[in-house]
Amino acid sequence: MMFALSPLAIVAVPVALETVKATRHDTVEREANNEAAAEAERMAKGRKPRASGAPASPQVSRANKADIRAILGASGSGKTTYVMQQLREDKPDRLLIWDTKGEFSQEGYAAPVRSISELVAAVRKSEKWKLALIPYGSPNERRKLFDMFAALAFAAGRCTVVAEEISGVAVGGKINAPGWQDIINRGRTYGLTVYALSQRPALMDKETLGNASLIRCGRPAWKADAKIMADCLFVGSDELLSLQDLEFVQRQKGLTLRGVVHPE
């Protein structure tokens, strides 16, 4: 006996198949992320990773100098340009980037990775790496992803960490990510160099701004932002509001400097 499928059923079959595929993909990705989180935790506790690769425990020394750079300013003020210049000068052989806009990977500063499991695998595989994680998922998922990214960077140690537009993972001016808090509060002894970028100071984690060894401000977008940064830099807010694109005011080791970023 022959059975004829209705038009509705014909449409429903491929839709159901796609739903099954999507569900399987989500399950695989979730399991991979769970494995990545467990691996990052193992590394943070000083245990050896499951595969050969970079040492799990970086050299700890209180003699290391604090190098946390808070880079602020409106879009187009030169934040990313400055960090890229520093990467070209310093040439770090261990580099992890939270590449929110994908610019660092697109311009060849690091190889793009699109899952936390891929990032963990790459770090475990070699002593040297330049990797840019492209954030994905909902805002809440991105905050969890950022915590795993930061935990991995802290566990790896002796590396340069770039966090592009960290306002995207902050809630009410605070980043509830133990991994990032470890980087900011204890990263110096583990040899970390940190670049934290944000368009607005009110949306940057206060611990990050408070622990920064260098604070640089380009053109602010709002008067309220200028007032906050004026207090940080010991200058008048009018001076900051008068900045043009690529001009900046910077404070480091008690000294306030002024200058212009020159794109190459």
The domain tally of the chain equals 1
- Confirm whether 243 is domain-assigned: yes
214 within some domain: yes
> Tens of pLDDT along 61-89?
555 666 999 999 999 999 999 999 999 99
The pTM is what?
A: 0.80
Handedness of CA 218, 233, 211, 144 (dihedral sign): negative
Domain CATH code at residue 203: 3.40.50.300
- DSSP lists the bridge partners of residue 15 as none
Q: Is 106 contained in some domain?
A: yes
pLDDT at position 37: 57
pLDDT at 174: 81
Say if 15 falls within a structural domain. no
Q: Is residue 44 part of a domain?
A: no
**Token pair for residue 25?**
């993909």
pLDDT tens readout for residues 148-166: 999 999 999 999 999 999 9
DSSP 98-163: E-TTSHHHHTTSSEEE-SHHHHHHHHHH-S-EEEEE---S-HHHHHHHHHHHHHHHHHH-SSEEEE
Give 24's pLDDT tier (boundaries 50, 70, 90). Answer: very low
Residue 167 lies in a domain: yes
Q: Do the beta carbons of residue 90 and residue 130 sit within 8 Å?
A: no
Any domain includes 202: yes
pLDDT average, residue stretch 44-59: 47
Whether 127 is in a domain gets the answer yes
Which range is least confidently modeled, 250-254, 255-259, 260-264?
Answer: 260-264
Cβ-contact 208, 72 below 8 angstroms: no
Which domain range does residue 142 map to? Answer: 68-260
pLDDT over 50 at 195, yes or no: yes
* 72: number of Cβ within 10 Å: 29
